[in-house]
Amino acid sequence: MNAPAPRTFRARLRAWLRPPRTLRVTRTGRTYLVVTFGVGLGALNTGNNLLYLLLGMLLSMVVVSGVLSERCIGDLSVRRVGADAAFAGEPFAFRWAVSRKKGHGFALTLSEADVPLTGEGRVGHLPPGTEAIVRADLGASRRGPMRLTGVRVTTTWPLGLFAKTRVLPVEGLLLVYPQRSFACREPVTSELGPAGESGNPRRNDGTGDVTGLRELAPAEDARRVHWLKSASQGKLLKVEREREERRTYQLSIESGLSGDGLERRCEEVAAQAHRLLADGHEVGLDTPSTSLRPATGTAQERRILQALAWLGFEDTRASEAA
Amino acid sequence: MERIAAQLGRAVQGKPTQVQDVVTCLVAGGHLLLEDVPGVGKTTLAEALARACALSFARIQFTADLLPADILGAQVFHAPTATFTFRPGPLFRQLVLADELNRAPPRTQSALLEAMAQGQVSMDGNTLPLPAPFTVVATQNPVDFSGTYPLPDSQLDRFLMRLSLGPPAPDVEARLLSTRGAHAPLDAVEAVSGPEEVSALRAHAAGLRLDDAVAEYVVRLAVATREHGDIERGASTRAVLALGAAARARATWEARDFVTPGDVRALLVPCWAHRVLLRSAVQGVSARDEAAHLLEEIARKVPAPR
Amino acid sequence: MSARPLRLRLVLRDVGAGAAFASMAVSGQLPLWTLGLFGLALALALLGKRVFARRAKLTAVLLLGVAAVLALQVMSGAMNMVVAACAFAGLIAAHRMLSQPDATADGQTNLAGLLMVAGGAALSGDMVYGACLIGFGVLSSLALALGVVEGAVPEGEPVPVRGVLRPLSSGLAFAVAGAVAFFVLFPRLNWTVVGPRSAPGLGAATAGFSDTVRLGGAGTIKGNPRVVLRATLTPDPGLDALGAYWVGRTYDTFDGQEWTSVGAPQKSGESIILRPGSETLVHQRVELLPAYGGRTLVALEMPARLGNALVHTSLGTRRTVVQRLGGGEVRFVESGISYTYEAYSLPPNAEEGSTGKLSRAEHDQLLALPEGLDARVAPLAAKVLDGEREPLAAARKLAAWLQREYGYTLELSGEVADPVADFLFTRKAGHCEHFATALTLLLRTQGISARLATGFFGGERVDGAYLVRAGDAHAWTHVLVPGRGFVTVDATPPAHRPTQSSAFVQRLLALYEALESRWRNSVVDYSFRDQVDAARALVRPPRGSEERTPSRLPPLRAWVTAALVAAVVYRAWRALSRWKRRARPMEATRFVDAVEARLAQGGPPRRQGEALEEFSARLAREGHPLTPALTPLTRRYLEARFGDRPLVTGEAARLLESLNRALEADAARRRAP
């Protein structure tokens, strides 16, 4: 990263205010503490030694709980393994790999810290020396690049009385694609009509190159029978040929859009691109900042989605590149 | 072996390590999967190999309408004698180039792969042996997957090695430009060996000494892949055997009669990268690069015998 | 959370709740029907039959009914408020155990368990309570922890029970240790604390003392090994078996079947003086345990003063008054679970001087005979005495005769019309009451004043105090000797005076009693005074310890030194064995180590993790000047290590030498330009 800048007083204060561990009392823990308090009062009032013994047990359980959870959550290392394509507004699979050198970890809950990502992953038991892959369905509410700063690890081990949280700093970047929705508008008309040589792999009922042989199903056109192969196999085989129909579309996002309008337009373009690419057409994209040449295939769809996701966050990208 | 490699080097220039691996694969008696973008000389390499070793050669271009009978051969009706006779397909050669293997439908693929595994062809109740030495060099294009039938993982296991040639170095490419017009590269390849010699080499390699420490090293590498967090399915026992065989073949290069850990390390990625199944295909990173990367990491972690 | 909760966790939870309930139940104060209900619920829960799972709300109405019953009992005064609350907590736990095992039910079961344990602390002070407390803590913690892990394990995966148990059990061990440390160190605000005394428990209390002693009936009391009384004596006689008479009361009137006394109840007060004391009184601090079951104060013969009495009830401990009744009996006015008091007795064989305050009527009764006394009794006495008139000598003579001529038995024939005649002339065997009654009546026929005394005989030393068991109950005779007062004469054969229970049971009970008294002294009655004492002992070790009898064991220093030496020896042995077991590096490996060390000093840089083989190959590819020296060396190493052609003697040195030369030449070449 950058050279360490002199830490300002504010940064130091923030670091001090946000210690590496945070502790939250669960509902069970609240009841437990109330009972402990009651037992303590009873012990002091009556001088009943057995109540003192019980109080000692309750209090030392609190201490042991703290020690065990600290041992559980300390000495952890986390890295992000990867994510499926993340679309805004729908859950996507996300994975972390957690490991520790020695000592067992129990009941760990992982989530991304300080970013608007919902969802968490759980791991019940983390033996020492092995790396566990924790899978979670995360949800992002909006499109765009998301800078990930750290992974929040929480445990309620051992007794579920306190939830101890630790944020492990792991830098990362998650690109959230625009929401998958239905495009209301028809795409602009195609720029290029059918082009002879290029086959459309999605339609196998054309007149172009052979894509495969299938057995002839009932109610299918007998003219498609490949007689040579049928004779050698002793059964009717149908030849499938590519349909040589492919159009080229150039989708564009007008400059000057912002806020909700931009989001809506991004979603729409993404949906149009998906549909057109699924139909086997060539699709290109023009945005105020970038432009993509028309192409086909899933790779092109990913390129378009990436371009759409970065739209409006170009300055982040610039700093990323630097 | 050096002679063969030198002849191959004439055809495919600037790729000494890959050429070495190809010959290693031939000597180890395994089949080879070449995976690369079109136009880097996969086909040339295979043909040159056939010429240099004077092996009978056939090239099968796999297409969507290719049926098993097209490669294995078929019973044909012989009118004068009114009997059926078997006309062997192109597979009955010592070196078979299966070009664009993933374009063929799974049925055809498995016919080829079965023949590769068994070394014989079963048809209509007859079992016909394939010529020895029998080697298949298959190629596939990793980029353009549209309209293809990717090989299942279990069948990838049948290939001893998977190699990719990669684009030649700029100076080699420049020299290629200047000389290509003069003569076809394959014409420069001379037959320097024969099928008998290849078989003898194979027998020799199979008898080389594999020290216990090295064998244990191979097993530990396999265990490491099985226990690695990012690998869904680690190296199988067949993978362990394959690595051992390949390492033996590689030892013959330096006229050694024993296998060193260095042989194992050098062949780890070609032999195993296509056999491990990754847990998560990380987006944007191709799975093959990731597998190679992980295997190198494992090789660094597992201590080699000293 | 996985669909099916872990069975082990539920079992742990339920057994934990059971332990919590047991901690209350050992006090013996819970009504029996709650015990039954809880036991039934626990058994059902352990069998996995959660019968209330369907209708949790509806069955909760049952709890309301139970609460109403308990409230009625409290209002009618039949039950203590604390006991009722504890019983209700137990029943709530029982209901939750039988409900659908979800997170709420788990939490409520554990909470009810916690309340039950707290209630148990208020109800009982038994040592079993401590065991139950620890049991509850451990089991419930395990159940909680398993629940936490179970909640985090993705569905379908096994819960790592073994993995959980190990770190958690060490944690729990620390928790128990921490509880003990807290208990010891936390300052008590109360100066003296007397903890709760447990109720008699599940067995019935012994009969104690009644107003009458009736001959006949069954005599099983002799076999009862339960401890009824614990006393600390000052001055301490230091005997292992005290063998003393602990008197409870005396009787002077016999009607042929049973003994009664004529005395009327007298005044009550903090302290009762029975007879004038002398200079050397034996002080006793007596504790009447719950198994005693009576209210009569007991003291060593002859008691002079009784008082300073405390009564322990389930609500606490308070000072109480005692009342003097007829027959020299002193009784607690209030009833409680157990009692503590102090008594002063004349030392044995002391001259009493006077008979104490004996009324005229009481004095006359000492010679009274039952109306229908068998006519053969008086001649028999006269015949045995053979003219002996001195009371004490006569009594001893008769006692010796009885001991000699009559057998001891606990088997009784049941109700007979004249038990004395039956004993003297028919059966010629009986128990202590028969012997004592016969002796008393025989003496009275000869005009010697005597009365029957009941109490205990014995005293077993445990932890510096003396224990008396229910089986030690005994009866004997007081003979009035003019000028000396009453003197004890025991007609029962000496072997049959103390308890008759089996030796094994007695030893077991002695062990339990020792533990229990430790527990009582160091836990239940732990006080600020003890803390101060302990602190003082830490700061300044007691002086007296050095002058004690020299122990045969070596001093602590020696133990510590021995332990240290043992640890060092063990460590050394471990290290040695590991060193011996390590893989012996082969010659080739040592050689390559040397080569690599040499290369690290002055060779070209090597990459991270690059083996010599790859390093050499890389240098060869790069055309490094060191190649001609390094390549054969590497080759030789590989052959030796993996090719089964070991290095010959001196070859390693030669190869290293060549490498050195090459390295020096290389260095010189680099320095030249």
Would the CB atoms of C643 and B262 count as touching at under 8 Å? no
Q: How far is CA A230 from the centre of its chain?
A: 49
Contact between A93 and B292 under an 8 Å Cβ cutoff? The reply is no
Q: What is the CATH number of domain B208-301?
A: 1.10.8.80
Q: B284 pLDDT exceeds 60?
A: no
Q: Cα separation of A106 and C187, whole Å?
A: 37
Structure tokens at A173: 């970047």
Cis? peptide before A158, omega within 30° of 0: yes
CA distances to A268, B50, B52 from B186, in Å: 54, 10, 10
Q: Cα separation of C313 and C316, whole Å?
A: 5
Q: B57 pLDDT exceeds 80?
A: yes
Would the CB atoms of A133 and B279 count as touching at under 8 Å? yes
CB < 8 Å to A132, chain B: 229
| C412 or C453, higher pLDDT | C453
Contact between C221 and C207 under an 8 Å Cβ cutoff? The reply is yes
Separation in Å, CA of B148 to nearest CA in chain A: 9
CB < 8 Å to A82, chain B: 280-283
CB < 8 Å to A50, chain C: 120-121, 125, 129-130, 133, 195-196, 523-524
Separation in Å, CA of B254 to nearest CA in chain C: 10
Contact between C337 and C291 under an 8 Å Cβ cutoff? The reply is no
Q: Does C620 touch chain B (CB under 8 A)?
A: no
Structural Rg of chain A based on CA atoms: 30
Total number of residues shown for chain B:
306
Q: Which CATH superfamily is domain A1-177 in?
A: Immunoglobulins (2.60.40.10)
Contacts across the A-C interface (CB distance below 8 Å): 164
Cis? peptide before C673, omega within 30° of 0: no
Structural Rg of chain B based on CA atoms: 20
N-to-C CA span, chain B: 28
For C301-449, strand residue ranges (E) read: 303-313, 316-319, 322-324, 330-332, 338-345, 407-408, 429-430
Residues of B with CB under 8 A from a CB of C: 209, 211, 213-214, 254, 256-262, 265, 300, 304-306
- Element at A81 (helix H, strand E): strand A76-83
CA distances to C532, C538, C591 from C541, in Å: 13, 6, 64
Structure tokens at B285: 């990173």
Task: Give the pLDDT score at B127.
Answer: 79
* Helix, strand, coil percentages in chain A from 3-state DSSP, rounded to 5: 35, 35, 35
Structure ipTM:
0.75
Chain C residue with minimum CA distance to B255: C635
Structure tokens at A65: 């709980």
Separation in Å, CA of C62 to nearest CA in chain B: 54
Half-sphere CA count of C388, side-chain side, radius 13 A: 16
Would the CB atoms of B209 and C641 count as touching at under 8 Å? no
Residues 6+ apart with CB under 8 A from B250: B24, B259, B263, B266, B267
Structure tokens at B199: 């078989």
Which of A77, A95, A228 has the highest number of chain B CBs within 10 A, making it the mutation to test binding with B?
A95
Task: Give the pLDDT score at C539.
Answer: 75
Question: Where exactly are the structural domains of chain B?
Answer: 2-198, 208-301
Would the CB atoms of C644 and B258 count as touching at under 8 Å? yes
Would the CB atoms of C149 and A106 count as touching at under 8 Å? yes
**How much of chain A, in percent, has pLDDT values that exceed 90?**
3
| B230 or A173, higher pLDDT | A173
Backbone CA torsion sign across C458, C462, C463, C467: negative
Average pLDDT, chain C: 80
Averaged pLDDT, C139-145: 89
DSSP state at residue C648: P
CB atoms under 10 Å from CB of C112, counted, come to 23
Would the CB atoms of A212 and B64 count as touching at under 8 Å? yes
Each residue's pLDDT tens digit, C251-304: 888 887 788 887 777 777 777 777 776 677 888 888 887 777 778 888 888 888
Contact between B240 and B157 under an 8 Å Cβ cutoff? The reply is no
DSSP state at residue C334: S
Contact between C525 and A49 under an 8 Å Cβ cutoff? The reply is yes
| A299 or C353, higher pLDDT | A299
Q: Does C33 touch chain B (CB under 8 A)?
A: no
Would the CB atoms of B306 and C592 count as touching at under 8 Å? yes
Q: Is B119 helix (H, G, I), strand (E, B) or coil?
A: coil
Q: What is the 3-state secondary structure (H, E, C) of A284-307?
A: EEECCCCEEEEECHHHHHHHHHHH
Q: B214 pLDDT exceeds 80?
A: yes
Would the CB atoms of C149 and A50 count as touching at under 8 Å? no
Q: C218 pLDDT exceeds 50?
A: no
Helix ranges, C306-408 (H): 360-365, 377-385, 391-405
Separation in Å, CA of A62 to nearest CA in chain C: 9
Task: Give the pLDDT score at C609.
Answer: 67
Task: Give the pLDDT score at A192.
Answer: 56
- Element at A136 (helix H, strand E): strand A131-140
Structure tokens at B47: 């043909």
Would the CB atoms of C178 and A56 count as touching at under 8 Å? yes
Would the CB atoms of A49 and C181 count as touching at under 8 Å? no
Would the CB atoms of C638 and B305 count as touching at under 8 Å? no
Residue A92, beta-bridge partner list: A138
Q: C16 pLDDT exceeds 90?
A: yes
Averaged pLDDT, B188-202: 80
Burial (CB < 10 A; 0-12, 13-18, 19+), residue B15, is buried
Look-up: residue for tokens 């023009």?
Answer: A286
Contact between C434 and C215 under an 8 Å Cβ cutoff? The reply is yes
Give the DSSP per-residue string, A6-60.
Answer: PPPHHHHHHHHHS-SEEEEE-HHHHHHHHHHHHHHHHHHHH--HHHHHHHHHHHH
Residue B233, beta-bridge partner list: B277
Closest by Cα among C13, C24, C158 to C99: C13
Q: What angle do CA A174, A178, A184 make, to 5 degrees?
A: 175
Separation in Å, CA of C127 to nearest CA in chain B: 51
- Element at C450 (helix H, strand E): strand C450-462
Structure tokens at C500: 């008759």
Structure tokens at C70: 């308990």
Residues 6+ apart with CB under 8 A from A303: A292, A295
- Is the full-model pTM beyond 0.90? no
DSSP state at residue B189: -
Task: Give the pLDDT score at C36.
Answer: 93
| B132 or C244, higher pLDDT | C244
Contact between C497 and C436 under an 8 Å Cβ cutoff? The reply is no
Half-sphere CA count of B30, side-chain side, radius 13 A: 33
Separation in Å, CA of B266 to nearest CA in chain C: 9
Q: C445 pLDDT exceeds 60?
A: yes
Which of C110, C129, C144 has the highest number of chain A CBs within 10 A, making it the mutation to test binding with A?
C144
Question: Where exactly are the structural domains of chain A?
Answer: 1-177, 248-321
Which of C616, C642, C644, C645 has the highest number of chain B CBs within 10 A, making it the mutation to test binding with B?
C642
Nearest to C182 among A39, A59, A106 (CB): A59
Query: What topology is assigned to B2-198 in CATH?
Result: Rossmann fold (3.40.50)
Interface partners of chain B (CB pairs < 8 Å, 3 or more) are A, C
Total number of residues shown for chain C:
673
Each residue's pLDDT tens digit, A61-112: 999 888 888 888 877 888 887 766 788 888 888 888 888 887 788 888 899 8
| C74: amino acid identity, one letter | V
Separation in Å, CA of A41 to nearest CA in chain C: 12
Half-sphere CA count of C582, side-chain side, radius 13 A: 8
**How much of chain C, in percent, has pLDDT values that exceed 90?**
8
**Residue C88's pLDDT band (cuts 50, 70, 90):** very high
Task: Give the pLDDT score at A3.
Answer: 40
| C34: amino acid identity, one letter | T
Would the CB atoms of B67 and A132 count as touching at under 8 Å? no
Separation in Å, CA of C161 to nearest CA in chain A: 10
Q: Does A131 touch chain B (CB under 8 A)?
A: yes
Q: C192 pLDDT exceeds 50?
A: no
Separation in Å, CA of C506 to nearest CA in chain A: 28
Structure tokens at C278: 């002398």
Would the CB atoms of C638 and B300 count as touching at under 8 Å? no
Would the CB atoms of A60 and C149 count as touching at under 8 Å? no
**Residue B176's pLDDT band (cuts 50, 70, 90):** confident
Q: Cα separation of B92 and B100, whole Å?
A: 19
CB < 8 Å to B65, chain A: 210, 212-213, 226, 229, 239
Closest by Cα among A264, A279, A62 to A182: A264
Q: Which conformational region is residue B133 in: left (phi greater than 0), alpha (psi within -120 to 50 degrees), or beta?
A: beta
Q: Is C223 helix (H, G, I), strand (E, B) or coil?
A: helix
Would the CB atoms of C638 and B256 count as touching at under 8 Å? yes
Backbone CA torsion sign across C44, C47, C51, C53: positive
Contact between B67 and A215 under an 8 Å Cβ cutoff? The reply is no
Instruction: List the single range of A143-147, B260-264, C26-30 with lowest mean pLDDT.
Output: C26-30
B274 φ/ψ angles, rounded to the nearest 5 degrees: -90, 0
| C502: amino acid identity, one letter | S
| C75 or A247, higher pLDDT | C75
Separation in Å, CA of B229 to nearest CA in chain A: 5
Give the DSSP per-residue string, B109-125.
Answer: HHHHHHHHHHSEEEETT
Would the CB atoms of B211 and C642 count as touching at under 8 Å? yes
Q: Cα separation of C96 and C101, whole Å?
A: 8
Would the CB atoms of B258 and C592 count as touching at under 8 Å? no
Closest by Cα among A63, A66, A58, A33 to A155: A66
Q: Beta strands C473-481 and C465-469: pairing type?
A: unpaired
Would the CB atoms of C168 and A160 count as touching at under 8 Å? no
**Residue C90's pLDDT band (cuts 50, 70, 90):** very high
Each residue's pLDDT tens digit, A120-135: 888 888 888 777 778 8
Would the CB atoms of B69 and A232 count as touching at under 8 Å? yes
Contact between C452 and C434 under an 8 Å Cβ cutoff? The reply is no
Task: Give the pLDDT score at A5.
Answer: 45
Q: Cα separation of B253 and B275, whole Å?
A: 25
Would the CB atoms of C638 and B260 count as touching at under 8 Å? yes
Separation in Å, CA of B140 to nearest CA in chain A: 17
Q: Does C595 touch chain B (CB under 8 A)?
A: no
